[in-house]
A and B are shown apart, each in its own frame.
Chain A
Amino acid sequence: MAKKNSTANKLDWEYAPSLEGTDHIQLKEKYDLYIGGKFVKPSSGKYFATTNPATGEKLADVAYGDESDVDKAVKAARKAYTEVWSKLSGKERGKYIYRIARIMQERARELAVIETLDAGKVIRESRDVDVPLACNHFFYYAGWADKLEYAFPNRKIESLGVAGQIIPWNFPILMAAWKIAPALAAGNTVVLKPAETTPLTALKLAEIFHDAGLPPGVVNIVTGYGDTGAAIVNHADVDKIAFTGSTGVGKIIQKAIAGTNKKATLELGGKSANIIMDDAPIDQAVEGIINGIFFNQGHVCCAGSRLFVQENVADEVIKKLKRRMDTLIVGNPLDKNTDVGAINSKEQLATIQKYIKLGISEGATMHQSRAKIPANGYYCAPTIFTDVAQSSTIVQEEIFGPVLTIQTFRTVDEVIQKANNTPFGLAAGVWSDKGSRVFNLTSKLKAGVVWANTYNKFDPTSPFGGYKESGYGREGGLHGLGAYVKLK
């Protein structure tokens, strides 16, 4: 810690950086597609670069998979399904999944650093949240593999076949775990496409599957852009689509699979309400607001992006929130002190800035954290908007960045009406000291997850998913397992 004397007696503190090392990670210069247990070149011969959003530097070239590559991957998955995986006992499947989880734990540090480099998220988060949770999902579903008849008592259980899985860039390894673990536990094989800006940890997972001795073709990883994902969705021999991403793409997928036998789970956008009642513990609620909107730079589908504060405590909450925002450290995601890292991509930064401009032009009052922002890389200062209404664009549309809108309310009925007045319904938060008030709100909010006196808490045993345009189907817990089986 460096300190400098400003006056004779008073100290002004600056925290010296505490950088996580990168010399222990192993990254190849070029990554091929992982199909049928081997890394194979893309048929087009094309590659694209994945970069570190904190610096703009290239990390690796990654294969651009096209329709024929997807076809190869689906064929490999089908072969593995019929010849190997569907014939294995649940106990044997469980052993593989446990082994994957253990190897992930052993390589947790490397996975966390690569995730931070590729996605821009802070090391504290990838180290303490994303990677451990991803491991826990594998452990959790490994435990179900030989107990499916207890998960669904008195039902005959069949796996679905080949699952096509398309995951987003905000939680790359965690989303891969959410999707792959239950699919394998239930006896399905997988073709997974990571997002184009964050493919590296999925490719590291491929190496881990390889090291775990997972039979060839059980999990295939095809990197690429939107058309690669479309090829998976449209492939005739895929039995199930699991997608996490934007509501726009979710609607396209919904149309594409209409009239087919494909099952689907869609986990889409959100504009979740975080509600502060006047009896809430204000300092804890302020931490909850910060966590709700600035965790992972606001790139969280369930981010608490619409804050509702009871009018009689609004001034106090906003004052404390602003002060807390000024203490956030924005900067190098590899620094263990950093609270808010880099925006995932140049495109996303432009989207966020567009919404901030729109907020101002629609008459809202903006306040930004005084945190120092690095000159290079893609960064956005934590931002809040007051003087907004239900009709403001920034209140209605998902921004997917560190931007919070603040509205006030007077009664419980009013806040329920306002919170539910959105096409989305993924999550909500309620802060109150009074149990009956909490339960009244949690039962009336139309959202898949409602947190009380906390926010952004995740656990493999707990199902996650949305109402309305936030999607359908659930991931996590028994519900998540149910999405990968046919019950008779």
Chain B
Amino acid sequence: MCFKAQHLHDMHPGLPTVAAVCVYPSMVKVAKKEVGNSGVKVASVSTAFPSGQAPLEVKLMDTKFAVSEGADEIDMVISRGKFLSGEYNFVFDEIAAIKEACGKARLKVILETGELVTLDNVRKASDIAMYAGADFIKTSTGKIQPAATMQVTYTMLMAIRDFMDATGIQVGMKPAGGISNSKLALHNLVMVNEVLGSDWLTNEWFRFGASSLANDVLMQIRKLETGVYQSSDYFSID
């Protein structure tokens, strides 16, 4: 996977690399060594990903371990059970504690919107995450459906815009899960452009979490060049 991240499109020089590879904490060291100084970042899912069903001490240890192994970014999941039972302070404090444990690593907070169900909840969870110190808010773990629907992403983008208005702090957005082809990706990029503007159209502030998207983008580029679609067997599945 790390090899592919650096050699995604050797046939097409000049294209930007993928932003990051995302691995479990135990693989951070390996991944870090593999990507070297290629510019590709190593993100680590932590906090008992994907369920988040562990006590705060375990989550903190998980996070600190990943950071100590060299992770540039940490992806945590919020405690949905606590959120849905109205314990917003708990959710806020947990995020703030993990943010502290991250040190210099950027923190992405996964809301797991498929389990929050309503857009009102998505908005509330976005606000809690940002005010607790999230550098990025992210829709989903990818393990739960529905994941990054347009409505959910739109709601989170509006929350980011309002947070920027209120605090002057820029927060990144990552829709993850379900954006598997270039057309959907374009829909999302247009949405970002319309709601937040071009300041967010960089890999520092906007990411897609979708491994299958990369192959579709490659396939579309190849189609633009050759005029025909290639078999999916020409694109590696790792």
Residue B128, interface by CB 8 Å? no
Which A-chain residue is minimally distant from B165 (CB atoms)?
A319
Report which of A9, A12, A283, A327 forms a contact with B194, defined as CB distance below 8 A. A327
B 161-198 binary contact with A (CB < 8 Å = 1; else 0): 00001000000000000000000001001100110001
The distance in angstroms between the C-alpha atoms of A1 and B182, with both chains bound, is 12
Closest to B193 in A: A13
Q: Please indicate the chain A residues that have their CB under 8 angstroms from the CB of B198 in the complex.
A: 6, 10-13
Q: Does B203 count as interface, using CB distance less than 8 angstroms?
A: yes
Most chain B beta carbons < 10 A, residue from A6, A12, A13: A13
CB-nearest residue of chain A relative to B166?
Answer: A316
Q: How far, in whole Å, are A6 and B193 apart by their CA atoms in the complex? A: 15
Q: Whole-angstrom distance between the alpha carbons of A6 and B198 in the complex?
A: 10
**6 A-B pairs with the lowest CB-CB distances in the bound complex, closest first:** A11-B201, A9-B202, A13-B193, A12-B198, A10-B202, A283-B158
What is the minimal beta-carbon distance from B170 to any residue of chain A, in angstroms?
A: 13
Residues of B within 8 A of A1 (CB): 186, 190
Interface size class of A (residues with CB under 8 A): 10 to 19
Task: Considering the complex, give the chain B residue whose CB is closest to the CB of A326.
Answer: B197
Taking the complex as formed, is B93 at the interface, i.e. its CB lies under 8 A from any CB of chain A?
A: no
Residues of chain B with a CB closer than 8 A to A9's CB: 16, 202-204
A11 CB contacts on chain B under 8 angstroms: 198, 201-202
Binding site for B on A (CB under 8 A): 1, 6, 9-13, 15, 283, 319, 327
Give chain B nearest CB distance to A73 CB in angstroms.
49
B149 CB → nearest A CB, Å: 18
- Report the separation of the CA atoms of residues A157 and B202 in the bound assembly, to the nearest whole angstrom: 68
A13→B165 contact, CB < 8 A: no
Main secondary structure of the interface of A (DSSP, over half): loop
Is the interface on chain B under 10, 10 to 19, 20 to 34, or 35 or more residues? 10 to 19
Across the interface, name the chain B residue whose C-beta is closest to A282.
B162
| Given known A-B contacts A283-B158, A319-B165, A327-B194, A13 and B201 have beta carbons under 8 A apart | yes
Instruction: Known pairs A9-B202, A10-B198, A10-B202; list 11 more (Cβ under 8 Å).
Output: A1-B186, A1-B190, A6-B198, A9-B16, A10-B199, A10-B201, A11-B201, A12-B198, A13-B198, A13-B201, A319-B165
Chain B at the A interface: SS class: helix
CA distance A10 to B204 in the complex (A): 10
Q: How far is the CB of A14 from chain B (nearest CB, A)?
A: 10
Give the Cβ gap from B176 to chain A, nearest Cβ, in Å: 21
B202 contacts across to A, CB distance below 8 A: 9-11
Contacts of A13 in B (CB 8 A): 189-190, 193, 198, 201
How many angstroms between the C-alpha atoms of A9 and B204 in the bound complex?
A: 9
Name the A residues within 8 Å of B189 (CB-CB): 13
Which residues on the B side are within 8 Å of A283 (C-beta)?
Answer: 158
Query: Could you mark each residue 1-22 of chain B with 1 if its beta carbon is under 8 Å from any beta carbon of chain A, else 0?
Result: 0000000000000001000000
A residues in contact with B204, CB < 8 Å: 9
Q: How far is the CA of A10 from the CA of B186 in the complex (A)?
A: 16
Chain A residues within an 8 Å CB radius of B190: 1, 13, 15
Give A9 to B17 CA distance when docked, in angstroms.
11
* B192-220 with Cβ < 8 A to chain A: 193-194, 198-199, 201-204
B136 CB to nearest chain A CB (Å): 17
**For residue B198, which residue of chain A has the nearest CB?**
A12
Complex-state Cα separation, A218 to B202, whole angstroms: 63
Q: With A and B bound together, what is the CA distance between A12 and B197 in angstroms?
A: 9
- Distance (whole angstroms) from the CB of B203 to the closest CB of chain A: 7
Residues of chain A within 8 A (CB-CB) of B193 are 13
What is the bound-complex CA distance between A327 and B196, given in angstroms? 11
Smallest beta-carbon distance A313→chain B, Å: 13
| Cα-based distance from A345 to B193 in the complex (angstroms) | 33
In the complex, which residues of chain B have a beta carbon less than 8 angstroms from the beta carbon of A319? Answer: 165
Query: A10 to chain B: which residues have CB within 8 Å?
Result: 198-199, 201-202
B186: which A residues are within 8 A, CB to CB? 1
Task: Tell me the minimal C-beta distance from B13 to chain A in angstroms.
Answer: 15
Q: How far is the CA of A15 from the CA of B16 in the complex (A)?
A: 22
Query: Whole-angstrom distance from the CB of B190 to the nearest CB of chain A?
Result: 8
A15 / chain B contacts, CB cutoff of 8 Å: 190
Enumerate chain A residues within 8 angstroms of B203, measured Cβ to Cβ. 9
